[in-house]
A = this chain, B = another copy of it.
Amino acid sequence: MSVPSDIEVARAAKMRPVVEIGAKLGIPADALYSYGPNIAKLASGFVDGLGDRPDGKLILVTAITPTPAGEGKTTTTVGLGDGLNRIGKKAAICLREPSLGPCFGVKGGAAGGGYAQVVPMEQINLHFTGDFHAIGSAHNLLSALLDNHIYWGNALDIDTRRVTWRRVMDMNDRALRGIVTSLGGAANGFPREDGFDITVASEVMAIFCLAKDLKDLEARLGRIIVGHTRSRKPVTAKDLKADGPMTVLLKDAFMPNLVQTLENNPAFVHGGPFANIAHGCNSVMATKTALKLADYVVTEAGFGADLGAEKFFDIKCRKAGLKPVAAVIVATVRALKMHGGVAKEDLGRENVAALKKGLANLGRHIRNVGQFGVQAVVAINRFVADAEAELQAVGDYCAEHGVEAQVCTHWADGGAGAEDLARKVVALADGGHSQFRTLYDDDVPLWEKMRTIATSIYGADDVIADKQVRDQFVQYQKGGYGHFPICVAKTQYSFSTDPALKGAPSHHVVPVRELRLSAGAEFLVAVCGDIMTMPGLPKVPAANAIRLDSDGQVEGLF
């Protein structure tokens, strides 16, 4: 049997006009600012008017620690949304927007897969509604205003050695990681070291995804710290009068995007901050809007639950006042076997012993989600080669740990393959047993917040850092940022900071290398390892195979 590719499935989709999708949520046609027949932004006036409605129920889809075997968090989010609609619930999903740059590298698109996708996939993966371009423009306008200020006399006395605001581009381009700017003589300014990050790594992206409204957006943008003066005082975007024009550039982008799943159910795809130096969730704007319009809202968070779910709960939910009532932890037999020590090439063979070993990883994620007071169900994203004994072993393990497990086949079967999962999720969501709480309170000192995450979530014994880094914690604590949450940047491939440590490592220590302030996004990034904020392209980039075919259709994108 030949399996159609994701793009073939997507192209064969019978999309409905976006006004019909909006109508399922009671959105009037004139509140949709459409981008062609199948994509729309919600008009700001309409969104502003939703404030008094009751909220629907928020469900998080997260996952075990990722492996090269894949887990399927996005496909499960899509499948669960479709499954909920199939069992008669008014449900919507909230996803992150894909980044353009990586499409030309290794990974292809990011709009789900198989029969659990959002469409139109080509547009969503390419420029979509231009949100990321707007975010890049706003970011780079601040950069230009900063260097322009220095050029014309530097009235603020900015120390050009201490400029921390880099530039961005939505492209995998390693050549731009480290650059020297303003070369070529007096007319071009004062040379200094600089560099580019990929647009999704911009603090503007994090702010965009956390801001409650345009006013909050402008205020947060104004608080961005771009560098320091010679006398070590922070210089903000507001000092450079950049907050106004940046907000103008983001005004339209800020409205949530509405598209549909392959089964014509509503999907909000909006915002996409990096999951390491930012919090890795779709926009608060989209999530809150969806909650006003649907009874059940399913959303996802980047990486495994140690990073994604923790930040979703401790940053996004804390800041936006969201109260998730259920969580889905996605696992695959293949990935669990990898956590149990099986090499990728041997994943096709039944190996219950290795699987059982790997289940420790799932177990810790189950426990962790429980620490936030949110009831969970495990979704086993089934692959064809999975053996019954293996599936059974996962189910037994979950039962022992007090959660239900559900085998899902949404990749092959669409929403029908996630109906049972949907029923279990509804039972949890409607059961009223979740009592969401953050892991730590705002007033816990910064160093203690970091230690709490490391010990409670990562299973570490302690946190360590050089004196210089510990001093940073003290400085930010004293400087008025002690109430901010911590956003950990560490490898997503292990609970520890060593990507080779699979399963559920214990007795490790978490070294913090640096603490960075994101004053506009309102969190502190604890850097615990190498973090890459500008990817490169591989030797044979995906771009090589991307072109229009003779019918003008995109080929090679996935």
Contact = CB atoms under 8 A, between A and B. Distances in A.
Contact of A151 (B130, B536, B557): B536
Interface in A99-131: 100, 104, 123, 126-127, 130
Interface in A525-542: 536-537, 539, 541
Interface in A181-203: 181-185, 187-189, 193-195
Given A152-B539, A248-B557, A174 B145 contact: no
B187 A174 contact: yes
Nearest to A103: B245
A404 interface: no
Interface in A136-180: 137, 140-141, 143-145, 147-148, 151-153, 167, 169-180
Contacts of A537: 144-145, 148
A242 interface: yes
Contacts of A37: 33
Given A130-B130, A548-B248, A144 B175 contact: yes
A249 B187 CA distance: 34
A183 B180 contact: yes
A35 interface: yes
B104 A141 contact: yes
A244 interface: yes
Contacts of A180: 179-180, 183
Contacts of A126: 248-249, 252
A218 interface: yes
A175 B171 contact: no
B547 A247 contact: yes
A351 interface: no
A252 B128 CA distance: 10
Give the copy number. Answer: 2
A554 interface: yes
A244 B174 contact: no
Contacts of A127: 130, 133-134, 137, 249, 252
Contacts of A406: none
A34 to B, nearest CB: 5
B152 A174 contact: no
B35 A546 contact: no
A241 B543 contact: yes
A171 B541 contact: no
A151 B538 CA distance: 10
A517 to B, nearest CB: 23
A214 interface: yes
B173 A147 contact: yes
Contact of A137 (B100, B137, B245, B541): B100
Interface string A247-264: 111011000000000000
Given A178-B184, A179-B181, A536-B151, A541 B248 contact: no
Contact of A189 (B145, B147, B175): B175
Given A151-B174, A543-B242, A543-B245, A548 B141 contact: no
Contacts of A177: 182-184, 188
A542 to B, nearest CB: 8
Contact of A34 (B36, B179, B188): B36
B183 A546 contact: no
A241 B548 CA distance: 13
A544 interface: yes
Contacts of A153: 539
A44 interface: yes
B178 A182 contact: yes
Contacts of A141: 104, 171, 543
A73 to B, nearest CB: 27
Contacts of A547: 218, 243-245, 247-248
Contact of A188 (B137, B178, B539): B178
A68 interface: no
Interface in A473-518: none
A244 B548 contact: yes
A4 interface: no
A552 interface: yes
Given A245-B104, A543-B145, A140 B173 contact: yes
A185 B187 CA distance: 29
A381 to B, nearest CB: 30
Nearest to A244: B547
Nearest to A193: B183
A33 to B, nearest CB: 4
Given A145-B541, A177-B188, A178-B184, 13 more contacts: A104-B141, A126-B249, A126-B252, A140-B171, A144-B537, A148-B536, A175-B188, A177-B182, A178-B185, A179-B194, A180-B183, A241-B544, A244-B548
27 contacts: A126-B249, A127-B249, A143-B173, A144-B172, A145-B537, A147-B174, A147-B175, A148-B536, A148-B537, A148-B541, A153-B539, A169-B169, A175-B188, A175-B194, A176-B181, A177-B182, A178-B183, A179-B180, A179-B183, A179-B194, A180-B183, A214-B548, A214-B552, A244-B544, A245-B543, A245-B546, A248-B547
